[in-house]
Amino acid sequence: MGAARPGPAALEIAPGALWQREALDRAAQEALVADIRAILAEAPLFTPTMPRTAKPFSVRMSNCGPLGWVSDASGYRYQPFHPETRRPWPPLPRALEALWTRFAPGAPPPEACLINYYAPDARMSLHQDRDEADFTAPVLSVSLGDTALFRIGSDSRRGATRSVRLGSGDVVVLGGESRLAFHGIDRILPGTSTLLAEGGRFNLTLRRVTA
């Protein structure tokens, strides 16, 4: 049975932004992918759109937990149900709750896990995670599948940025000064992982939403 690895000390890639490489071994990654596929059977991936332009995202997404993040003509927001099925989001897997306990000790429990699926040609422009009511809890991100070129800056869109390659099983925690750092995915490196039969990458983002 797989488990979170103790691994070497996390690398601080920006003030308060910690990158733990290979936090999950292969068996733990496979078990988490199985959890995610079960969630998606209940809450299928959908394509969000930008609020003003209605332009579709290049990623598809879903959620699990009490709340889920969505984007459409009404804006960015959290809501307790899937925008298409109208059913409540499935609960958080225990494995994700355990990762939160490990990497965000002392923080209140997560209320949302955004599941983003990146096909080989998908990307995510620089953005801030700021739709939550309280920024004291960190944001925790788990990578599964193909390597992604991740870019992170400061709380200013014009600030300098740094890029790292996030591999399958890596965890990134944005806290402290980097809780509102601009960040994004410039590109996916196809064929860098055999974890997902369809290729591409899942990114799981755990957040505390309410104060």
pLDDT number for residue 9: 76
Nearest alpha-carbon partner for 186 in 196, 171, 201: 201
Averages of pLDDT over each 10 residues, the chain, 211 residues:
54 96 98 98 97 94 98 96 98 98 96 98 96 96 98 94 97 97 98 97 98 91
Amino acid at 194: T
pLDDT value of residue 2: 42
Q: Please list, residue by residue across 144-177, b when 16 or more beta carbons sit within 10 angstroms of its beta carbon and e when fewer do.
A: bbbbbebbbbbeeeeeebeebebbbbbbbbbbee
Pair 210, 134: CB distance under 8 Å: yes
Task: Quick: pLDDT tens for 166-200.
Answer: 999 999 999 999 999 999 999 999 999 999 999 99
pTM for the structure as a whole:
0.94
pLDDT at residue 207 in the model:
98
Architecture of domain 11-207: Sandwich (2.60)
Q: What's residue 187's pLDDT?
A: 98
